[in-house]
Amino acid sequence: KKLTVAVVGATGAVGREMLKTLHDRDFPATEVRAFASARSEGVKVPYGERELTVHELKEDVFDGVDMAIFSAGGATSQKFAPHAAHAGCVVVDNSAAWRMDERCPLVVPEVNPQALDAHQGIIANPNCSTIQMLVVLKPLHDAGKIRRVVVSTYQAVSGTGQKGMEELERQVRDLFNSRDPENKVYPYRIAFNVLPHIDVFLDNDYTKEEMKMVNETVKIFDDPTIKVTATCARVPVFYCHAESVNIETEKKITPKEARVMLSQAPGVRVFDNPRELMYPMPAYCVGEDATYVGRIREDESIANGLNLWIVADNVRKGAALNAVQIGEELLRRDLVRVRDKNVFLR
């Protein structure tokens, strides 16, 4: 059966990983098309052993495309995803543009795949930090009902895209050569530094990244009662976000019970043995599909509390892999179609 898939933002850090993931997982596409900005017209990007020629994204490129995976920034998604849906092409969008739109399911396949059933043409991929946290919290929420989450993140520069990685590399090189490092991407030096600032600041003095974790958790768990508070920091690491997560549950869950539940949870790998110095770290989780959890221990300051340390590859599970898994779930549920093509564009 014919299945044409488009990758939008194919030259970017996530777009390239999307092509790799589609190929590595034998996604049953009969044709893959690559799109980016006009700057990239004619550029070649790898797809397995082959190369695809990148074409300029235009409003009319979605005719005959069944599914499009977007990772080209919020403005591009805002503008082009409605045109894709209008052409009958199902969009899986990695940007923040559609996540809180009531018409768009926000999906982590291990957590809320059923939300896909009501899709109207645009499906949102959650924020990288939210995805890895919820893959781990899902079984604990089911077992003990989480009341409150306190999370601090340690996020890699690849979350900013290719330009974030280039900035860290350039600054490290400049510092070793006694040159003044220039800040082009981040407001301050990222090399050998930590910035408590990801995305823009909002009126409540939280960053947009922090509020994404709060709002997306409520939507994905479909639970308006769950309380989340977040502090998001950028660290000089290329790949993988780490998170310190504290939860308070209604029903007590012991660390031992949590370890058993998590070792059976889809997409989760428990890596937790303090005596053997076993705990997940970004440098060792690069390229992995699983979300790693360790340092599972009781929060001794409250009655029903746990502390966890969660690490995942932000470009894979945090972006490309989760998007491709959504595509796989759409196929499994026979949902690769748009019922009403006029929902987003009239």
Residues engaged in binding ligand A2P (CB under 6 A): 9-15, 36-37, 39-40, 57, 72-73, 76, 161-163
CA 29/CA 34 separation, integer angstroms: 13
Query: Alpha-carbon dihedral of residues 147, 200, 76, 97, nearest 10 degrees?
Result: 20
Residue placing its CB nearer to ligand A2P in the complex, 77 or 249: 77
Residue placing its CB nearer to ligand A2P in the complex, 140 or 323: 323
CA 4/CA 62 separation, integer angstroms: 10
**Is the distance from CB of 317 to CB of 241 less than 8 angstroms?**
no
> Catalytic: 241?
yes
Active-site entry in 104, 128, 240, 285:
128
**Is the distance from CB of 18 to CB of 69 less than 8 angstroms?**
yes
**Is the distance from CB of 294 to CB of 309 less than 8 angstroms?**
yes
**Which strand (E) or helix (H) includes residue 70?**
strand 67-70
- Least separation in angstroms between residue 15's CB and ligand A2P is 5
Looking at beta carbons, which residue is closest to ligand A2P?
Answer: 12
- Least separation in angstroms between residue 330's CB and ligand A2P is 23
- Least separation in angstroms between residue 117's CB and ligand A2P is 30
- Least separation in angstroms between residue 195's CB and ligand A2P is 18
Looking at residue 8, its amino acid is V
> Catalytic: 119?
no
Residue placing its CB nearer to ligand A2P in the complex, 15 or 109: 15
Residue placing its CB nearer to ligand A2P in the complex, 69 or 296: 69
**Which strand (E) or helix (H) includes residue 335?**
none
Residue placing its CB nearer to ligand A2P in the complex, 78 or 231: 78
Which residues are paired to 268 by β-bridges?
291
Count CA atoms within 13 Å of residue 260 on its CB side: 5
CA 287/CA 290 separation, integer angstroms: 9
Active-site entry in 83, 86, 119, 241:
241
Q: Is the dihedral of CA 109, 113, 117, 118 positive or negative?
A: negative
Q: Which residues are catalytic?
A: 128, 241
